[in-house]
Structure 1
Amino acid sequence: MRTQILIRNFNKVESDFNENNLQEILSMSRAEIISTVRIAHLQEHGLFSQRIVGDEWKNHFEFSKGSGVVSGFNNFDYNGALFNLLEKDSLSVLEGLAIAVYAVGDSKGSLYIPQAHESALDSLESAAHKLNELECLKKLGISISVAVGSIDVRSLKKEQVVHHIGTLASISALFRLKKDFVPTRIVLFDGDVKVPGIVEIPIGLTLQTLIDEFAGGVEESLKAVAISEKLVDASGTKMVVDESFSLGNGVITIYNNKRCMADKAKAILRLVFEASCGKCTFCREGTFQLYQIFMDISNGKGKPTDLGMVDELGKAMTTGSLCSTGQTASEFALGTLNNFRDELESHIRRKRCPAEVCTAFMNIYVSPELCNGCTSCKEVCDAKAIEGKEGYIHMIDEFECTKCGKCIPICEKGAILRTTGKVPPLPERLTRVGSFKKRR
């Protein structure tokens, strides 16, 4: 059976939270709590995984008491994968927040949830109210609040304690499970894996082992892996996922050898652009420009100078953006450039998509030998690019065709074909089924 630390309460009718246990924890001295966390070498979840929680608490207790503890998600956690911790075990997360507030000698803990999950506010406020009514918190003057919004890191003090939701869940688990606690992370396996979904993974295994054991392995051969927005090629699966390894928003996306990375970069950049708040110039304009570049590349309009622009824009966004959305937005684009440059060059210089995904480099035609003149393809073509009538070999107007491929599965005879190579001789005018060969 797999270890259950952060998800230990997910499938239970009631969580393991109770007031007596929390009172016991809060009866410890602050120094004891900080020491326990430091001995466990508990590290921050999310973007700032290099930070040691115990060290943060110690510095805050000594230099910055009175500014409270703030918690939430990284701004680029827009996929909602990590929100499961709040949905399925909110009391443990809020308990972790209460412990953090007490440990640093403060009285107020604030939890922020994304606008996209505003519907969960009432239930979270109810859980916070339940905690605030506990005698052990009232005695210490500690209060917990929940609000919709994002954390503006620019307005925080240097020593301000800011915790990711995953960190709070780990804090609660550490004091609940004691010697049975081991560090874990919540991730969502997505893409070309045999068993996609949200799982809890142990620390210290290679990325390849995690993919094989927790996602059932890869469909087809592995081409690339995106950890959050950071893209690596197949060799990157040798990396060990330890506590300081940033899993970003918790999504690990697997791409097999049938995927075009230019096409995937275009899709990711569009998603990031739509998730951006638009206030930051580097994020707003940079993401849009990168999206346009990859759109051109995948549409056969890419230029050799585009690759240098991707590098320049991507690095500028990483250093110039004001929050994690913009800082990580270019990671997939830069990863595509650094790991799959040959593939991008093929799109730009040879006008060819190696994965045969980008339709701009393809020709769709009707095979004269296979067409039975049924008109099904003509009826389904939104662009009105197919000419023909019953009993005649149909023809596709290459200038009108959008190459959407909608007509391909409709043809029961498999007469509509897609190729990146040369198109064979075709009728130049409507020709009866079965008579084309005789007229050549």
Structure 2
Amino acid sequence: MSALENAKNGSSQDVLNKIQEANLSEYGLCAQPLFDRLMAAKEESAEEQKELGIVAALNNADTDHALLAVLKEQPEQVMEGISIAAYALGTEKKSLQIPEEETDLFESLKETAEKYGVELVSGIVNVRAAKGSAVLHIVTVKNLADLFDGAYEDGVYVSVNGADLQKVAKDKKIAELIDTDDVKALYFGYEYHTPEAAETTVGEAGITNGVVRVLTSKDCIVQGAQKELLASRKTSCGKCVFCREGLIQLEHMQKEITEGRGKVEFIDLTKEIGEAMCYSTPCSMGQVSAKAALSATELFTKEYEEHIKKKNCPAGACTSFVNIYIDPSLCNGCGECMDVCPKDCIEGKAKYIHMIDDFDCTKCGKCMEVCDEDAIVQTTGKLPKLPNRLTKVGKFKKR
């Protein structure tokens, strides 16, 4: 017998009672007892005079989509969980939100969704339009199905550095899940953390989107924050001024810093704009997306100052602070680097010392990979004296 059939063996009140007795909670950013969340939706539906419904989705701020693995692996259980929640509230209005870019997943779910009478919707949740409905996390409805199937186990879903999603016990420490060598920072709960956070348990850490990312000495904090903000910009619906404009400003400032055009006041501006977003937007996209930049500037101020004041990326990851040149004493004029350069920015000919046009160079490093003489050097320091015109191999003299 399926979980949905088990639920329908009792009344809707029986289902609500079991949810309350099991102390099942909403997953993700809006953690609260599921019973309370369902009752709040019922009250809101009456107050707003809107049809009661169930909306299952990821949190709007979730741009990593790691928790979609739950839906991809067990779509039937997710659909049953949505249907059980709807049965508990006495409604037939059921929908499942799929991130806009997940087109293949959307297509693959059509048949299963039709079987359970669930409408598939592409994009993030419109919180205004969803008033009167219980908006539940995809993991929540999966847990609900497990509860009525007798298979529910408490735990936290975690994906470390993009690896497969796994469900782990809440008392397990993050340090037990990661390689603790050369940890500069940790990213989870939409925020950056210092290495000491590895001693936090997954239950305490608030890993609400399933993502744990380890940053080493080779990873740039500023660059990481900029990428998180850019992903949020691409996902945001853009209807709220604070979210739309805030994300534009925050992402722009982080990008300027990584490209060597940062200003000291950007650090305070990031705090001012980010904090305003947290309290002035109606959904998790605006409320949470700024936390990457807020936590980065607060905990890793020195790295920001290194970029802004010293024009240096400690991780060597920001290519604007990196120079690549060809050592004239080692180049044998073989031409291998010219063949692989995607921008054709290496000048040279056989038996002549090659030269890199720094203006067009993207610092991709492909030329370094093919040079058998190790003549192509990457540095963040001052460039040595180099030829300014084609010179035969062995003929260049530093003056």
Same fold at TM > 0.5: yes
**Match status 1:188 vs 2:159:** yes
Contact 1:42 1:183 in 2 (8 A): no
- Once the two structures are TM-superposed, the CA of residue 84 in structure 1 deviates from its matched residue by 2.5
User: Are residue 374 (structure 1) and residue 334 (structure 2) matched?
Assistant: yes
User: Structure 1 pair 324/175, CA: closer, same or farther in 2 (3 Å)?
Assistant: same
Counterpart residue number, 1:15: none
Q: Structure 2 vs 1, CA of residues 129 and 371 (structure 1 numbering), >3 Å: closer, same or farther? A: closer
Query: Are the equivalent residues in 1 in contact too, given 2:41–2:52 (CA < 8 A)?
Result: no
Matched, 1:254 2:214: yes
Q: What is the distance in 1 between the residues matched to 2:293 and 2:202?
A: 22
Q: Aligned to 1:254, what secondary structure does the other structure show?
A: strand
Q: Within 5 A, what are the aligned runs for 1:243-392?
A: 246-381=206-341, 383=343, 385-392=345-352
Distance 1:86 1:177 in 2: 19
SS for the counterpart of 1:69 is strand
Q: Does 1:161 align with 2:122?
A: no
CA distance in 2, matches of 1:95, 1:286: 38
Report the alpha carbon displacement of residue 378 of structure 1 after superposing the two structures with TM: 3.5
Q: Secondary structure at the match of 1:222?
A: coil
Change (3 A) 1:391 1:286: same
CA contact (8 A) 1:366 1:415 kept: yes
Question: Which of the residues 2, 9, 26 maps onto 1:44?
Answer: 26
Q: Matched residues, percent identical?
A: 36
Corresponding residue for residue 231 of structure 1: 192
Paired with 1:394 and 1:24, the residues of 2 have a C-alpha distance of 74
CA separation of 1:388/1:171 partners in 2, compared to 1, >3 Å: closer, same or farther?
same
- Quick check: 2:113–2:120 contact (8 Å CA) kept in 1? no
User: Against the structure 1 CA distance between its residues 349 and 146, is the aligned structure 2 distance closer, same or farther, given a 3 Å change threshold?
Assistant: same
- Picking from 25, 42, 49, the partner of 2:7 is 25
Task: Write the distance in 1 (CA, Å) between the matches of 2:45 and 2:385.
Answer: 78
**Alpha carbons 2:81, 2:141 under 8 Å: kept:** yes
TM-score by length of 2: 0.88
Counterpart-to-counterpart distance in 2, 1:24 and 1:344: 56
Contact 1:61 1:105 (C-alpha < 8 Å) held by counterparts: no
1:164 aligned partner, one-letter code:
H
Deviations 1:178-208 (A, max 9, x none): 6xx32123333226xxxx2222222222222
Deviation string, structure 1 residues 287-312 (Cα, Å, up to 9, x no partner): 22222211111111111111111111
Q: Which residue of 2 aligns with 1:113?
A: 98
Question: 2:164 maps to what in 1?
Answer: 197
Task: Give the Cα separation in 2 of the matches to 1:426 and 1:126.
Answer: 65
- Residues 84-163 of structure 1 mapped to structure 2, 5 A cutoff: 84-121=69-106, 124-131=109-116, 144-149=117-122, 150-157=124-131, 160-163=133-136
Deviation by residue 1:135-178 (Cα, 9 ceiling, x = unmatched): xxxxxxxxx422214432224447x4221110000011122126
- Partners of 2:108 and 2:263 in 1: how far apart? 52
TM-superposed CA distance for 1:127, in Å, is 2.6
Deviation of residue 342 (structure 1)? 0.3
Partner SS state of residue 422, structure 1: coil
For the 8 Å contact 1:124–1:146, the answer to whether it is kept is no
- Structure 2 unaligned runs (5+)? none
Q: Any stretches of 5+ residues in structure 1 without a counterpart?
A: 1-17, 132-143
Deviation (angstroms), 1:398: 4.1
Deviation string, structure 1 residues 270-303 (Cα, Å, up to 9, x no partner) = 2222222232222222222222211111111111
Aligned partner of 1:170 in structure 2 is: 143
Deviation at 1:322, TM superposition (A): 3.3
8 Å Cα contact 2:160-2:212 kept in structure 1:
yes
The aligned length equals: 394
Matches of residues 403-418 of structure 1 in structure 2 within 5 Å?
Answer: 403-418=363-378
RMSD: 2.8
1:54: how far off?
2.4
User: For 1:214-256, what per-residue CA distance to the aligned partner results, in whole angstroms no more than 9, with x for missing partners?
Assistant: xxx35x51122222532212122222222x7543332222212
Deviation for aligned residue 1:104? 3.2
Whether 1:74 aligns to 2:59 is: yes
TM-score for both structures, normalised by structure 1: 0.80
Amino acid at match of 1:47: L
Provide the secondary structure at the position in 2 that maps to 1:425.
coil
Residues 375 and 118 of structure 1: CA distance in aligned 2, closer, same or farther (over 3 Å): closer
Contact 1:34 1:58 in 2 (8 A): no
Does the 8 Å CA contact 1:48/1:246 hold for their aligned counterparts?
no
Give the whole-Å Cα distance in 2 for the aligned partners of 1:282 and 1:373: 56
Q: Say which of 4, 7, 16 aligns to 1:34.
A: 16
Q: 1:62 to 1:388 in 2, by over 3 A?
A: closer
Provide the rounded CA distance (Å) in 1 between the counterparts of 2:70 and 2:150. Answer: 17
Q: CA deviation at 1:353?
A: 1.0
Distance of 1:395 and 1:107 partners within structure 2: 69
Match of 1:55 in 2: 36
Whether the 8 Å contact between 2:42 and 2:52 is mirrored in structure 1 is no
